[in-house]
Structure 1
Amino acid sequence: MATASLPPAEIGLIRLMAQRHSVAIGLVILTVIALAAALAPWIAPFAPNKLAILSRLQPPGGVHWLGTDEYGRDIFSRVVFAGRVSLMVGILVSLFSSLFGVFFGLLAGFFRRLDTPVSRVVDAMMAFPDILLAIALVAALGGSVLNVIIALSIVYTPRVARVARASTLVIRELTYVEAARALGTSTWRILLIHVLRNIVSPLVVQATFTFAYAMLAEAGLSFLGVGVDPSTPTWGTMINAGSKYVSTAGWMILYPGIAITLCVLALQIVGDGLRDALDPNLSKEL
């Protein structure tokens, strides 16, 4: 009786979690990482940028659980605080790219005259490898968290736009859209009420993948030295700093690497689960 009142998508997700333990594990991992990042000031035993030269390059032990870096900064504290920046970049990039991608995708998919110019611009942007386009944009804007978010939002907007356009092309030909036009419903009302509401499912799935891609891209940019300022703790900047000491202090890149791997893997698993739960054809098989 309790599940009867839930929306079909939520019922499908609950069934999926019951059948696929990997989805439940992915959600647990994401929850733990998000809580650790949110509670970083209370969890971290040291300030993330507190220097202790006498304790530099100490291996994991009782005082410093995950060891220290070349400046004596506590790795555990930096990993926890770095999660806040890395997750923020992923969330904001996913949000902004979804907003702009949906806007351009709806225009291209619903208005035939705008389809060709918008699609050509999207194809031109996607012709460049993501990381190369991101490097060029960050190099032009300058290295900072805000500029990385702007650059990655521009990079991943075309991906969302293509998904939104493809879904809109299907929805606009359906009977209820034609009926709304015949009744004199305004174009923008049709877009918002009849089209956008029915393409939310693939967009939500795409947003989870964009989240993961953005975190990996931020780490790649920081590793190459063109992303976030090195003084700002992110998992990417930590891996970049630890790469110089990989043979003598491997823990400097091990733990931030584990953190970003777990987070991205969990996002991919949850994204696959959402796709299966929200797809009507797949949900019937659950």
Structure 2
Amino acid sequence: MAVTSSPAIAGRPGLVSLVFQRKSLLIGLVVLGAITVFAVLAPLIAPYAPNRLSVVNRLQPPSGRWWFGTDEFGRDIFSRTIYAGQLSLLVGAAATLLAAAIGITLGLVAGFFRKADGIVARIIDAMMAFPDILLAISLVAALGPSLATVIVALGIVYAPRLARIVRASTLIIRELPYIEAARALGVPTWRIMLRHVLRNLVSPILVQATFIFAYAMLAEASLSFLGVGVSPEVPTWGTMIAAGRQYVGSADWMTLFPGIAIVLAVLSLQLVGDGLRDLLDPRLRKDL
């Protein structure tokens, strides 16, 4: 007996086809992938060590030897730029994971338990009342500047964004019939929260996480620019731009290339987030 496939299933496009149909998502993935490859393979790609000094060659313009030029100490800006990508990606990923752990926990508790909703919701609102960068500076100043401190500060700062989304969705899901059925069958509360509630929040959490990743990278660069981030000898895009401020008129390449790296990284993550939102939302997916 011949097996025939359903027309709806046979005509359903695969994930790869949907990605190629969404040009902005494809461009974002390509740019983000290129930045990641350069950062991970920096020891193999960089022609010089990031902190190698050559005072004789200070403030050299971009050339065949110095692709992005050199800074005030003769350090190769191209090498420092791709090494700085390692730190930015590390901070962005770690801060996003920490924000997700805190935000998802707070959102589930506030949305599922009515007694805790008022307290947690007020805490979330109070944290979001402060500008992100101001709150991050306050936390870093209180805990002391270091890489771990920056990650913890940014994770705390951006956790309320995820908490609000998870809380709002949980408030709706907890009233659905299958949740009531699970309660009637005696399913443990923690299992209902993880298996029946959290599984239905994967799409909005994933989309919001890409935006938080971009915000965290931009915030890390801002903290480093202000001098309250990681140690000054560690190459970061923010410290490179801060060092090049006084040479804008004579050596603008010192700020140009790190600035372009920040723009490309943040823009690619924004494009990926927008594309994932369109792919994962059934209402928007019809338009693809």
CA drift of 1:15 comes to: 4.3
Provide TM-score, normalisation by structure 2: 0.94
Which runs of 5 or more structure 1 residues have no equivalent in the other structure?
Answer: none
1:224 alignment partner AA:
L
Task: Give secondary structure in 1 for the equivalent of 2:50.
Answer: coil
Q: Which deviates more, 14-23 or 55-64? A: 14-23
CA drift of 1:20 comes to: 2.6
Partner of 1:21: 23
Partner of 1:77: 79
CA drift of 1:270 comes to: 0.5
Check conservation: 2:25, 2:276, Cα contact below 8 A. Answer: no
Partner of 2:156: 154
2:284 alignment partner AA:
L
* Structure 2 residue corresponding to 1:209, chosen from 208, 211, 215: 211
CA drift of 1:146 comes to: 1.0
Q: Percent of aligned positions with the same letter in both sequences?
A: 64
Task: Give secondary structure in 2 for the equivalent of 1:199.
Answer: helix
Partner of 1:272: 274
Partner of 1:283: 285
Q: Which deviates more, 274-283 or 188-197? A: 274-283
In 2, the alpha carbon distance for the partners of 1:101 and 1:14 equals: 31
> Matches of residues 23-102 of structure 1 in structure 2 within 5 Å?
23-102=25-104
Q: Which deviates more, 63-72 or 222-231? A: 222-231
CA drift of 1:17 comes to: 2.5
Which runs of 5 or more structure 2 residues have no equivalent in the other structure?
Answer: none
Partner of 1:111: 113
CA drift of 1:226 comes to: 1.1
1:261 alignment partner AA:
V
Q: In angstroms, what is the RMSD of aligned CA positions? A: 1.6
Provide TM-score, normalisation by structure 1: 0.95
In 2, the alpha carbon distance for the partners of 1:91 and 1:239 equals: 22
Partner of 2:124: 122
In 2, the alpha carbon distance for the partners of 1:266 and 1:16 equals: 18
Check conservation: 1:143, 1:227, Cα contact below 8 A. Answer: yes
In 2, the alpha carbon distance for the partners of 1:127 and 1:171 equals: 27
CA drift of 1:18 comes to: 2.6
1:161 alignment partner AA:
A
Equivalences, count? 281
Partner of 1:199: 201
CA drift of 1:114 comes to: 0.3
- In the alignment, structure 1 residue 239 sits paired with structure 2 residue 268: no
2:116 alignment partner AA:
L
Larger radius of gyration: 2
In 1, the alpha carbon distance for the partners of 2:143 and 2:252 equals: 33
In 1, the alpha carbon distance for the partners of 2:248 and 2:18 equals: 41
1:200 alignment partner AA:
V
CA drift of 1:152 comes to: 0.6
Task: Give secondary structure in 2 for the equivalent of 1:46.
Answer: coil
* Superposed structure 1 runs of 4+ greater than 4 Å apart: none
In 1, the alpha carbon distance for the partners of 2:282 and 2:260 equals: 35
- In the alignment, structure 1 residue 134 sits paired with structure 2 residue 140: no
Partner of 1:172: 174
Check conservation: 2:50, 2:75, Cα contact below 8 A. Answer: yes
Task: Give secondary structure in 2 for the equivalent of 1:228.
Answer: coil
Check conservation: 1:228, 1:237, Cα contact below 8 A. Answer: no
Partner of 1:145: 147
Check conservation: 2:95, 2:216, Cα contact below 8 A. Answer: yes
CA drift of 1:142 comes to: 1.5
Partner of 2:220: 218
In 1, the alpha carbon distance for the partners of 2:275 and 2:193 equals: 27
Check conservation: 1:52, 1:71, Cα contact below 8 A. Answer: yes
CA drift of 1:166 comes to: 0.8
